[in-house]
Copies of this chain bind each other. A is one copy, B any other.
Amino acid sequence: MREVVTAALQMGPIQKADSRKDVVERMIVLLDQAKAAGATLAVFPELAFTTFFPRWYMEDQAEVDQWFETAIPGNETAPLFKRAREHGIGLNVGYAELTPEGRHFNTSILTSPQGEIIGKYRKIHLPGHAEYDTERAFQHLEKRYFEPGDLGFPVWRSQGGVMGMCICNDRRWPETYRVLGLQGVEMVMLGFNTPSVNSQMSSEGPEDRLFHHRLSVQAGAYQNATWVVAVAKAGVEDGHPLIGGSLIVDPNGKIVAESTTEEDEMLVHACDLDLCTFGKETIFDFKRHRRIEHYGLITSQTGAVAPNE
């Protein structure tokens, strides 16, 4: 038994007007709850310190950059990291990263329970678009404000197991989990901000969005025999609703905990990493069953190419 008491720390909405200081105070309340529940790992959402700003079209780069962190921990976020270290809790938290070279990424980091930063991931599958789109009910400008991640999908040993990260839209792509699975991942941590309505099809509402979310997360867990901890920023941000549906999913693909609100809310579960072993050694023993000689298109070709009519 290798139990990691894991807290999925869902966050309710963050309005444009909310300060980072206010947000970090809310996060610390959640972290204290996680400590009280015995957690050694806390997973926060994507872009946890700010509103989901890619819904806003901006042309002024200085205005854009105010949503980014130039250092982690920074002046305003340091109290969160300090409290986690005091509690002996490892953190996974998402934020907008502005590098010294002026590059912009949608990033998440992993700390050890001792408070060191041990891993960084930069979101690879950026959804949405780069220019103002008059056809959409609202904008989703991640391709405008971020570069695609350049760090691949690494894993790290921490919490007694093999830990991986991804962010939001990455969870819909089976390649994400598979690259992690091929490195023996035992827990995938991911945060998300998912609009409750498809901006390009208004009939696709929260029920469908939650269905697709659960489906993708559960399939990724099952098909790689790994835990997945998926954590929402939820609720209505300046009039724009985001789904909740934070989940802890076991290596069988079963949901063991799910949020019931669209507010700040803790889920906690003692995740036994040894439960990954059965799947990894039987039906998903990749070494015995995968046939890479037939997978070539997955890495040789980006887009779909249908046969001629």
Nearest-CB distance from A58 to chain B (Å)? 21
Contact of A295 among B201, B254, B298 (CB under 8 A): B298
Contact of A162 among B175, B182, B306 (CB under 8 A): B306
Q: How far is the CA of A181 from the CA of B302 in the complex (A)?
A: 11
From known contacts A174-B219, A216-B222, infer whether A292 and B298 are also in contact, taking CB-CB under 8 Å: yes
Q: Is A301 an interface residue (CB 8 A)?
A: yes
Chain B residue numbers with a CB within 8 Å of A152 are 294
Chain B residue numbers with a CB within 8 Å of A174 are 174-175, 178, 219, 223
| Contact segment of A4-12, A21-29, A275-283 | A275-283
Nearest-CB distance from A24 to chain B (Å)? 31
From known contacts A172-B223, A219-B174, A294-B179, infer whether A302 and B287 are also in contact, taking CB-CB under 8 Å: yes
Contact of A182 among B148, B289, B301 (CB under 8 A): B301
Q: Cβ of A296 and Cβ of B294 under 8 Å apart?
A: no
Contact of A283 among B127, B295, B309 (CB under 8 A): B127
Q: How far is the CA of A254 from the CA of B295 in the complex (A)?
A: 26
Q: Cβ of A287 and Cβ of B304 under 8 Å apart?
A: yes
Contact of A215 among B179, B184, B215, B295 (CB under 8 A): B215
Q: How far is the CA of A283 from the CA of B282 in the complex (A)?
A: 33
| Least CB separation from A201: chain B residue | B278
Q: How many copies does the complex hold?
A: 2
Chain B residue numbers with a CB within 8 Å of A153 are 294
Q: How far is the CA of A183 from the CA of B223 in the complex (A)?
A: 22
Contact of A290 among B175, B285, B309 (CB under 8 A): B175
Nearest-CB distance from A137 to chain B (Å)? 13
Q: Which 8 A-B pairs have the closest CB atoms?
A: A184-B306, A287-B303, A174-B174, A219-B219, A182-B297, A299-B299, A184-B304, A286-B303
Give me 10 other A-B pairs in contact (C-beta within 8 A), A162-B307, A292-B300, A298-B298 excluded: A125-B289, A148-B291, A155-B306, A172-B283, A178-B297, A201-B282, A215-B215, A290-B302, A295-B299, A299-B299
Residues on A close to B: CB < 8 A? 124-127, 148-149, 152-153, 155-157, 162, 169, 172-175, 178-179, 181-184, 198, 200-201, 208, 211-212, 215-216, 218-219, 222-223, 252-254, 278, 280, 282-292, 294-307, 309
